[in-house]
Every structure is written in C-alpha cells, then in structure tokens.
Structure 1
Amino acid sequence: MRTIHLTSLGCPKNLVDSELMLGLLVEEGLVPVSEPGAADVLLVNTCGFIQSAVEEGIDTILGLIEQKKTPATRVVVCGCMVQRYGADLARELPEVDLFLGTEEVARIAERLRRLEDRAGADGDSLISAERLSESATIFPLVGRSAAGGGSELFLASAEMPRRLSTPAHRAYLKVTEGCGNRCSYCLIPAIRGPLRSRRLEDIVCEAQGLAAAGVKELTLVAQDLTAYGLDLGPGGPRLPQLLTALNQAVAVPWLRLLYLYPSRVKDELLELVAAQPRILPYFDLPFQHVSDSVLKAMNRPYGEKMIRDLVARIRRILPEAAIRSTFMVGFPGETEADVDRLAAFLADCRLDHVGIFTYCNEEGCAAAEFPDQCPEELKQERHDRLMGLQREISLARNLARVGRVEEVLVEGVSAESDLLLEGRAWFQAPEIDGCVYINEGTCRAGELVRVKISEAHPYDLVGAIVEP
C-alpha cells in the first residue's frame, strides 16, 4: 500500500481543498499517515495570499524534501502559491515532482497517475523541471486570469469524496469559489478567479452528509459569504435562502458564518439569525479600517458611518451577538489621525474579537504602487498600540461573562495540561478566537455541555461543567 502525508497551510477554505484532494487520493488507494518520513507521497497545499505565507510554504516544501525516504517518494505541491508563482517554483525547486494550481483539485489523482506512469517509463527516476512543466497546470499571474490556459475553473461538489482533517465534531463548508471584489491590496481574485457559487441543493446535500457523520458545528466559509448567489442571476438563492434551507434540512446544533462583507449585511440576514437559534449570532466582519480615506484607497465601498450603523443594527436586533473584525494598519497614506479614528472606534464599539495586521506590499496589487508608503517600524508601533487597547476591551468583555452559564462544544483534553478539558463557547470560532478551559466535570470530545464561567482572561475563559 502506498501512503500519503498531507500538510495544509493557510485558511479554512484552503483546508477544504486539502480534504477534497485527500479524499480523492484515499479513494485511489493511498493510506494517510501522520509522519512525513513514513509517506510515499508528501502533499502540501500552500497559501500564496501574502509574503509571510509564501515564506512558510517554501520552508515547508524544503522540510518535506528532506523527509523523502526513497528516490520513489513523491513531493506534490499545490494551491495558491503554485497558482501565483508556479513557473518560478518549478525552476527553483527541481526536487518537487508535481505542481498543481488551485483549479486542479479535482484532477489530483489523474495528475499523480500520469506522474507515476512517466516515472516508470524513465526507470522510476524523478521528473525534471522541464518535464514537470508539461505534467502540471500552472497559470502565471501577470497578464492572465486564474482561468488561463483553457482550464475549467474548479467548483467543489457534494459528489466529491472528502476526508476531514478537523476533529470529527466540526467541519467547514465552502459555498463559493473565487471573489468578485477588487480590494486594492488583495490578490485573491487574480489567484482564485471570479465568484462561482455552488448550487443550493448541492451544498445542502454535503451538509447532510457531514451531519450524518456526527458533525456538531458546521462553519460556512467563502472569500465573501454574503456574495453567495450573486452570480446565479436575479432569481437565484442568496445567503438567507441558503441558511433557511440548511436550518430546515440539516440537524447540526451549531451553524456558524465566517467572512461577511460589511456592506452586504442586511436586516433580512440579522432577523433570520435572531429567529433561528441554531444559526449562531456570531458576525465575522472584516472592516479593515474605519477611516473613510483609507477605505476608499483600499477600494472598500463603505465608510465609518456605515460601519458604526451596522454595529448598532446588529446589537439592536441581536443584543447578545458576538462581533469579530480584522483591521489593517500601515496602509499607504494612513495618517496618525486615521489611526486615532480607528482607536476611537474600538473604544466606542467594543468588539468581542479583533485581529490587527500590518500592511505588506504584494506584487501585482494596485496598493503596492501607491505613494506615501508607511515605514515598517511605524506600522508595528500602530499595531502594538491598537492591540494593547483591544486587549483591555477583550478582557472587560470576558470579565462580564464571569458567573454566566454558556454552552460549550468540547474539543478534548487541553494542550495546556492533561488536567483540563478545552472547548469553545458559541461566541468563539475555531482556530481564530480564544477557548474555554474546563477545570471541573467530565465529558467526551464533541459533546455540548453547559459551563459556568469562573475566571476570565483577555482571550480565554475558565469554568466548570454544570448539570443541564
């Protein structure tokens, strides 16, 4: 039996692609193994969104090359970094046997078979970079769309086999591919192509299969979840219709939404969440900034007034809602006054979860050519100032939960100590927010339990299981 080791980098959307590829290869007879040194195929799905992710990808690839146990061991590199830098990677990393872009997810088994056939014909030798470029589909970024070269754009289907790499009690459900927004700092439309929405019936079918497999928390993801259906025509479904269908047809206790584009969050969606307890009142809204001038330069079609109005609407319709957002500091042209406005917004609106990132130029993005670039030291100073402010806000909001009983999905024994269990409350998304440490009571991973909060920290909570 041939074995495979998978490394998935980047976001949950990338992870879904990884799980689909792994499912296809398992269907081909490959057996997953946890140690790369024991694998006949070393597969890494890369992220190419920002430079730090590219650097992580290169380091991971080099590490896997070192793990090759025999000359017949194959290293396969796929995903966003290949879509962005494929031809350069093929030249610089001849030790890699196969490169596949983001549109090749469904063809991975076919590509690997072709690779093995050629290797066998060459006496089991490795494929050279020149031969590699013939067997891989690589789409240059500059001057070409992500669909270049005549390749069909990929769109997931419920018919595809999928091998979950998350714990069995939770899974991501990707409802679209690509993106129709044109933010001046972002390469996603160039890498992933235009917006493509899956059919509502197909999404429901996959969700039903995940629920039947024991998933308790289903997290809907997309580059822009609120764009779902915009490409399906004026009479097609939109996000509220998809959520209604999932709520009616899928017996999953928690439905969570990630990546909601702020200007598309309407009262119809908020009122639906308020009326359906299984759709968690958790709103992930990547505002990116609040300064009108910075948002305009980012090509974000809203300003501070709309942002503040949206936060007020959410809290009017759903007073207990949790709001998460991300912000970028150091964008070209950002002034101290812009940062002050962002600090004032954080102090006034007191969001539950905030991530702050420093802007980085990316080749191919319009913002990389903007004047008034911000020095790196100043970016970091602004980041540290705002994160310090948000840390105090997060702590205060968590302290307000002490004494309350919250529903918690248990992940298992804590990585911090085998004397603690670890879980997440409904207002904590997997991988990105804090957690709840359980110091009293017993249960199994995947159970939903009631926990009385006894202690609060800036990002995490502590509590004991109480009887229903």
Structure 2
Amino acid sequence: MKVAFVSLGCAKNLVNTEQMMALTRAAGHTVTGEPEGADIAVLNTCGFIDSAKSEAIQNILELAALKDQGKLGKLLVTGCLSQRYQDELTKEMPEVDGVMGTGSYTDIVSALEELAAGGHPRRFGDISRTDEDGERLVTTPSYTAFLKIAEGCDNRCAFCIIPYLRGRYRSRTMEALLEEARALADRGVKELIVIAQDITRYGIDLYHKQMLAELLNELCKLPFHWIRLHYLYPDILGDDLIEVIARQPKIVKYIDIPLQHSNDRILKAMNRHTTNAQIRALLGKLRERIPGVVLRTSLICGLPGEGEAEFEELCQFLRESAIERAGIFQFSPEEGTPAAEMEDQVDPDVAQRRVELLVELQSRVMDHWNEQRLGETMEVLCEGFDPDMGCYAGRTYADSVDVDNHVYFTAAGLIPAGEFVNVRITGTQDGDLTGEIEE
C-alpha cells in the first residue's frame, strides 16, 4: 500500500507525522510525501487558531479533489483539527474517510488497514497518555532535526486551546531523549532544535524538579554544532538555566520566550504568571548574562479588554526592549477557551490594525539590528543555492528554521547544504542580510 503523508502546523506536529511515517514503513507499506497516485493520504492537521483551521480545511478540499479525479484513494485526517472537531469533521466533510485524534498517532497502521478494507476508522485515545518514544522517519534536511522533549501543556493560558487538544504536560525520559539525540548525531545532524510547548518545565512531572539544564549539558556532549531552544517560558526561567545557556558554546544565543503582552491587566486576564516589571527584569538579566543574545517572542493584539492605553503600553515595551524577533498575532476567540467568553471583545478590524502597527514597529527594530551587523563576519549554516536570488542562502544563530530571516551570500566555489561558513555581512535586503563568504 502506498501512503502519502502531509503535515501542517508546528514542528511538534511534524514530529508526530514522522512517527506515523516510521510505523507505516515498518509495517511494510510504501511512504511518500506526494498524495497524487497514493492509495491513502494522511493529513496531519493543526487546529490552533482560525488561520490554521482554514489551512487544514483547504488541504482537505485539495486532497478531496484528487480523490474525485481518481488520483488518490482515500483520506485519513489526523491531528489537532480532528481532535477538536471529532464529529463535525466527518459530518460536514464527507470527503474524509477516517479520523484520528492526537492521542492515537501510534494507531496509524491499524487505521490504515481498516481504511484499505473499506472501513471508516475513528481513533481517539487518551490525549494525556501517548507514546512519544520510538522511531521517526526524519523529513527535515539532513543537517537539521527536531528533538521533542515533552508533549502537552499545563499552563492553561486563557486564550489557548492547546491543553484541550494535547493533554497535560508530560516529559520524556532523559534516557529516551539522549538515545534519540545520539541517533540523530550519528546521522550527521548538525543543528538540533529542542522543542516542546514549554521546554522550561521539562522534568517537573517525572523528576519533580526542572531538568532542562541537566539535559542540555548532556546534549552538549554530543557532536552537534548548534543546539537551539524553543520555547522558554518567562515565569520559571531561572539562573541555573541561564548560566548553562551562557556557558555552553553549542547552545546558540537565541532565546524564544513567548511573552504575549506587557500590560499587567492583560497579562492577568491571559492567565500569564509574569508582570511587566518581571519581564523587563528578566530581559535585562538575559542581555547582561548572555552577550550578543537574540531574543524572540510572540505577542497578541486584541485580547478582550485591550484598549488604546494597553496597546500603547505594548508598543512602548517593544520600542524599549528592542526584541530582535517577534511574531505578532491577532487574538482569535477559540471556542472552549476562557478568553472567548470574556466581555469587552475587541473589534476584529481594530485588532488587525494593531497587528499591522506592531509589525511595522517590529520591522524597524529588526532593521536596526541588521544595520548593526554590517561589516561583521558571522557564522552561517548554508541551506543551499537559491536560484531566485542567484546566490547561496543560509541562517545565522539569530535565525531559526522556517520562522526567521536568511543570509544571502556569494561564494567562488561550491558550498554544500549543511556546511558552516563565515560570511562577511555587506548589506540588507527586505529584512534579510546579504554578504560574501570569507575564504
């Protein structure tokens, strides 16, 4: 049987897709990334916010069109969208032949076999008791891979649906993580990206204390060149962990801290556990203890109750903190979350305008940082030749995969993808850096 896998959403979802691909291949089936000509397509969806839901539905419709044309056999939808809309999905979209939730990724083979036999599988296991270990068919470039150290979330932010879709926070064991990391290193992975919904809380459920610092020290003993961290929550980002990040040269000095806002009243409404003063103190400490650190965050505009004063405070915070990287999002009232039921909902057009203003402000912060790089020589991970740009493309420590910008550089010879090179920065272009390789 030929099975095509399509993964949407975050890197954590991609890891689940890679696990399903490995199980499918181990069962003797052919695995592909191209739905056309496949017996079954597996669409692993995101259902986090409206834009993600729209993308998932659009992909379902595109795969359904292939079915209608006789170019695809059947369609199995998995992931957060199916977990969230277990009944609605098959009722409203008859194109879907089977569904699986986020608690049932390891049931992929039996679901595929049921589909092939003419059935309509429904698999919805316990979302707080999943097997996160086992083989993966890694789909990222050979030099980069994700290491998911935990699943679920206990933070219960008022705007967020993830705990309802992914279950309680549960760490993987140190032994399993190090075994997987060694296998990735043996395969030639040079950039290891440590991920979870909240990596800061790693180990608390298993070992009754924060264990991320210990895990990172062990990972740094393996032959990775870069170790990148997503996401560090501000409320328990303590001195021990900061010291490890500062001391270990393999850990890139790039810290992704989801702050969401800066106004105390809005932060409290979000059920966040920090204040404006605490956030500012933490950012100051990070800049002092980790020279050259690049900060990334996510911010939400338009939470219920956010008025002009609260928004202006957020703008002022971004100007003063000069956070180098920021994802700006419009509040999405997700059914089932406390924020969706709050009073004083902000008009969506007003929220969208605030997003645009904050994006413009953030672009100026980023442009200033880029201009300061002119004349510097920076280490760049080459990701290959970009035919549209007519030169090579890569990333510095300040740019994570898929979410940040690039460095476009020229070189006299052939530079393989995955090679680290030194690039002298000579210019900027639409938020990206440009330069030339230093021989």
TM-score band w.r.t. shorter chain: over 0.9
What is the match of residue 444 of structure 1? 416
Match of 1:165 among 128, 139, 146: 139
The AA in structure 2 aligned to 1:240 is A
**Corresponding residue for residue 239 of structure 1:** 212
- 2:74–2:115 Cα contact (<8 Å) kept: no
Q: Say whether 1:182 aligns with 2:181.
A: no
1:339 paired to 2:325:
no
Q: State which drifts further: 216-225 or 339-348.
A: 339-348
Question: Is the counterpart of residue 396 in structure 1 residue 393 in structure 2?
Answer: no
Q: Which amino acid aligns with 2:123?
A: T
Tell me which amino acid in the other structure corresponds to 1:228. Y
Residues matched between the structures, number: 437
CA–CA distance in structure 1, aligned partners of residues 370 and 71 of structure 2: 54
Alpha-carbon distance in structure 1 between the residues aligned to 2:2 and 2:372: 50
**Paired position in structure 2 for 1:107:** 107
CA contact (8 A) 1:409 1:423 kept: yes
TM-score, length of structure 2 as denominator length: 0.96
Q: Give, as a single letter, the amino acid of the residue that structure 1 aligns with 2:436.
A: A
How far 1:30 moved relative to its partner? 2.5
Q: RMSD of the alignment, in Å?
A: 1.6
Tell me the amino acid that sits aligned with residue 375 of structure 1. Answer: D
Separation of aligned partners in 2, 1:313 and 1:71: 57
Are 1:406 and 2:378 matched, yes or no?
A: yes
CA positional deviation for 1:94: 2.5
* Equivalent in the alignment of 1:24: 23
Structure-1 separation of matches of 2:32 and 2:110: 21
Contact 1:394 1:458 in 2 (8 A): no
Secondary structure, aligned partner of 1:81:
helix
Q: Output the TM-score relative to the length of structure 1.
A: 0.90
**SS of equivalent residue, structure 2 residue 437:** strand
Q: Secondary structure at the match of 2:200?
A: helix
* Residue 136 of structure 1 pairs with residue 122 of structure 2: yes
1:288 to 260, 278, 283: 260
Contact 1:155 1:196 in 2 (8 A): no
User: What is the CA distance between 1:348 and its match in structure 2?
Assistant: 1.0
Match for residue 93 of structure 2? Answer: 93
Question: Helix, strand or coil for the counterpart of 2:228?
Answer: strand
Once the two structures are overlaid, the 10-residue window that deviates more, 2-11 or 296-305, is: 2-11
2:132 pairs with 131, 152, 156, which one? 156
Secondary structure of the corresponding residue to residue 194 of structure 2: strand
CA distance in 2 between counterparts of 1:456 and 1:155 reads 45
- CA, structure 1 residues 30+330, in 2 after alignment: closer, same or farther (shift >3 Å)? same
* 1:373 matched residue in structure 2: 345
Aligned identity (percent) is 39
SS at 1:337 equivalent = helix
Alpha-carbon separation, structure 1, partners of 2:198 and 2:300: 18
Q: SS of the residue aligned with 1:339?
A: helix
CA contact (8 A) 1:436 1:460 kept: yes
Given that 1:323 and 1:352 are in contact with CA atoms closer than 8 Å, whether structure 2 keeps it comes out as yes
1:427 pairs with 2:398: yes
Match of 2:123, SS state, is coil
1:73-88 counterparts in 2 under 5 A?
Answer: 73-88=73-88
Name the structure 1 match of 2:228: 256
Letter in 1 for 2:406: C
Structure 2 counterpart SS, 1:281: strand
Query: How far 1:319 sits from its partner (Å)?
Result: 1.8
Counterpart of 1:123?
none
- Check the 8 A contact 1:200/1:237 in 2, yes or no: no
Match runs of 1:44-63 below 5 Å = 44-63=43-62
- Amino acid in structure 2 at the alignment position of 1:421: Y
Q: Deviations over 1:23-64 (max 9, x none)?
A: 111222232334321211211100011122111111101111
Residue 416 of structure 1: how far off its partner (Å): 3.0
The letter of the residue matching 2:174 is L
Question: Is the alpha carbon distance of 1:71 and 1:389 closer, same or farther for their aligned partners in structure 2, counting shifts above 3 Å?
Answer: closer
**Structure 2 vs 1, CA of residues 204 and 259 (structure 1 numbering), >3 Å: closer, same or farther?**
same
Q: Deviations over 1:384-437 (max 9, x none)?
A: 1111111111001011011111111111122633x2111100110000000111
| Aligned 8 A contact 1:286 1:325 in 2 | yes
Shift of 1:233: 3.7
* AA at the equivalent of 2:122: A
1:202 paired to 2:202: no
Matched position secondary structure for 2:251: coil
Q: Deviations over 1:127-150 (max 9, x none)?
A: 4xxxx3xx31247xxxxxx64xxx
What is residue 7 of structure 2 aligned with on the other side? 8
Unmatched 5+ residue regions in structure 1?
120-126, 140-145
Residues 79-138 of structure 1: per-residue CA shift (max 9 Å, x gap): 001110011112122232221101111110122123323x2xxxxxxx4xxxx3xx3124
**5+ unaligned residues in a row in structure 2: which ranges?**
none
Partner of 1:321: 293
Task: Say which SS state the counterpart of residue 266 (structure 2) adopts.
Answer: helix
Contact 2:391/2:410, CA 8 A, preserved across alignment: yes
